[in-house]
Chains A and B, each alone.
Chain A
Amino acid sequence: MDFISVLSIFVLACFVGYYVVWSVTPALHTPLMAVTNAISSVIIVGALIASAEAGSATAKWLGLAAVVLASINIFGGFAVTERMLAMYKKKDSK
């Protein structure tokens, strides 16, 4: 893909991110932060590509290390968000 198409996607996604969180209720600040953190581990896509490419053993190991770090973040991030949200739900039902 040429640079301008990629740049267009980037700029439009920035605007979506800008508008999507404005109405967040204060009680959900921390869970929203946790889920955003989990989503940022999309870096795992790059890590997977790096760890799968032949040509440099060092690069492969760096990629695999990045896969481990990103996986901690994915599983930990979503699980911890789920736990926080479960807590809010309990509070509401009381």
Chain B
Amino acid sequence: NPWVALAYLVAGVFFILALRGLSSPATSRAGNRNGMIGMLIAVVTVIVTHDIANIVEILIAIAIGGLIGFTIARKIAMTQMPELVAGFHSLVGMAAVLVGLAAWMNPGAFGILDAEGQILTVSRIELGLGIAIGAITFSGSVIAFLKLSGRMGGKPIMLPGRHVINLGTLAAIIALIAAYAMSATAGPGEGWMIIAVAVLAFAIGFLLIIPIGGADMPVVVSMLNSYSGWAAAAMGFTLGNTAMIITGALVGSSGAILSYIMCRAMNRSFISVIAGGFGADDSAAGGG
């Protein structure tokens, strides 16, 4: 259906206008409205063009989430904004993990099976990456939320040998995704690989954020934002959905640039923040 792709393209254009609009005070409110319009187009398109039997359940799910989100947004104090955004990121990360697991459990419905009834190799890689990035976004955002809200000390927690641990965990995640992609079958028997990817990714999200001091947290929140975009894009590749690919890429790259801009404004080293306190010296430690 060409109209679906066209509608997703229009939604993507609205998202671009939203990001652009938020760059200057004069256009910022129109920008936010454009974002809402884009999201409405994307959601309505998928509901209208998909053969959906359980529309009531879906509308209830949207209503529950909408009510919770709206209430939180109304009640939160202005000073709590950064922690709120961090909390919201964790939801996107978890949603990406759930969508990935759903696609893995029900691959036939997503059209990602090959002639022999196995999940396509490229889809396995996309699934693995999407779940891993989503899980990192989730646990990293939870830690950022806890630090910003003062529920966890703002001081960097420096584990001995943390770079070795982080690199080892990252290597294990990549190796597991590769092993999953190359295994002869991709059914329930290989499920432990996907679960292990998720668990290790949850762990590395935690490990990457605990060494970062409270002062650097806004940059981290923006970086996690970028990760949530990449997770959405990876899921978009799995589903062959251009709305998710375009928007995920937009969010991923603009979030990374925004964290870079924020780092520069704060005179921080971008690499040291994203690598989880890599090369963090006394000055960075004192920032907490």
Q: Mark A11-25, 1 if CB is under 8 A from B, else 0.
A: 101111110111111
Classify the secondary structure of A's interface with B: helix
Interface centre among B42, B57, B67, B98 (most CB of A within 10 A): B98
- A contact residues around B89 at 8 Å (CB): 37, 40
Give the docked Cα–Cα distance between A52 and B110 (Å): 11
Interface residues of A in 28-58 (CB under 8 A from B): 28-56, 58
Q: Which residue of B lies closest to A79 (CB)?
A: B73
- Cβ–Cβ contact B106 & A55, under 8 A: yes
B4 to chain A, nearest CB (A): 11
Q: Which residue of A lies closest to B233 (CB)?
A: A10
- Whether a CB of chain A sits under 8 angstroms from the CB of B243 is yes
- Whether a CB of chain A sits under 8 angstroms from the CB of B61 is yes
- A contact residues around B247 at 8 Å (CB): 13, 39-40, 42
Give the docked Cα–Cα distance between A38 and B233 (Å): 15
A12 to chain B, nearest CB (A): 8
- Cβ–Cβ contact A49 & B239, under 8 A: yes
- Cβ–Cβ contact B81 & A35, under 8 A: no
- Cβ–Cβ contact A43 & B29, under 8 A: no
Q: How large is the interface on B (under 10, 10 to 19, 20 to 34, 35 or more residues)?
A: 35 or more
A21 to chain B, nearest CB (A): 5
B208 to chain A, nearest CB (A): 19
- Cβ–Cβ contact B253 & A15, under 8 A: yes
- Cβ–Cβ contact B22 & A64, under 8 A: no
- Cβ–Cβ contact B258 & A32, under 8 A: yes
- Whether a CB of chain A sits under 8 angstroms from the CB of B225 is yes
- A contact residues around B50 at 8 Å (CB): 48-49, 52
Which of A30, A39, A69, A72 interacts with B39 by CB under 8 Å?
A39
- B contact residues around A83 at 8 Å (CB): 73-74, 78
- Whether a CB of chain A sits under 8 angstroms from the CB of B184 is no
- Cβ–Cβ contact B241 & A43, under 8 A: no
A91 to chain B, nearest CB (A): 10
Q: Which 3 A-B pairs have the closest CB atoms?
A: A71-B65, A76-B69, A17-B253
